[in-house]
Amino acid sequence: MHRVTFSCTCGSVAGQIRVASPAAGNHVVCHCPDCRTAELALGQPDPDPDGVAIWQTMPDCVQIEQGADRLAILRLSPKGLYRWHATCCGAPMFNTLRHPRLAFAGISAARLSDTTPLGPVTCHAFMAKPGGGYRHTGFNRAGLRILRMMLRANLSGTWRATPFFDAQGQPRADIRVLSRAERTALRQP
The CB-of-31 to Zn ion minimum distance in angstroms stands at 7
State the Cα–Cα distance between residues 79 and 99, nearest whole angstrom.
Answer: 12
Q: State which residue, 141 or 152, has the beta carbon closest to Zn ion.
A: 141
Q: Return the ∠ at Cα 171 (arms to 167 and 173), rounded to 5°.
A: 130
Q: State which residue, 12 or 158, has the beta carbon closest to Zn ion.
A: 12
With contacts defined by CB under 5 A, how many residues of the chain interact with Zn ion?
9
Task: Supply φ then ψ for residue 51, to 5 degrees.
Answer: 85, 180
* Contact between 86 and Zn ion per CB under 5 A: yes
Q: Which of residues 11-70 bind Zn ion (CB under 5 A)?
A: 12, 30, 32, 35
* Contact between 8 and Zn ion per CB under 5 A: yes
Which strand ranges, in their side-by-side order, compose the sheet holding 2-7? 2-7, 14-19, 62-66
* Contact between 127 and Zn ion per CB under 5 A: no
Exactly one of 40, 88, 127, 150 binds Zn ion (CB under 5 A); that residue is 88
* Contact between 150 and Zn ion per CB under 5 A: no
Q: State which residue, 152 or 176, has the beta carbon closest to Zn ion.
A: 176
Spell out a b/e string for 83-105, using b for 16 or more CB atoms within 10 Å of the CB, else e: bbbbbebbbbbbbbbeebeebbb
Distance, first Cα to last Cα, the chain: 42
Residue 98 DSSP class: S
* Contact between 175 and Zn ion per CB under 5 A: no
The CB-of-88 to Zn ion minimum distance in angstroms stands at 3
* Contact between 10 and Zn ion per CB under 5 A: yes
State the Cα–Cα distance between residues 62 and 64, nearest whole angstrom.
Answer: 6
Exactly one of 2, 40, 63, 89 binds Zn ion (CB under 5 A); that residue is 89
Q: State which residue, 58 or 93, has the beta carbon closest to Zn ion.
A: 93
Name the H helices within 63-138. none
Residues at the contact surface with Zn ion, assessed by CB under 5 A: 8, 10, 12, 30, 32, 35, 86, 88-89
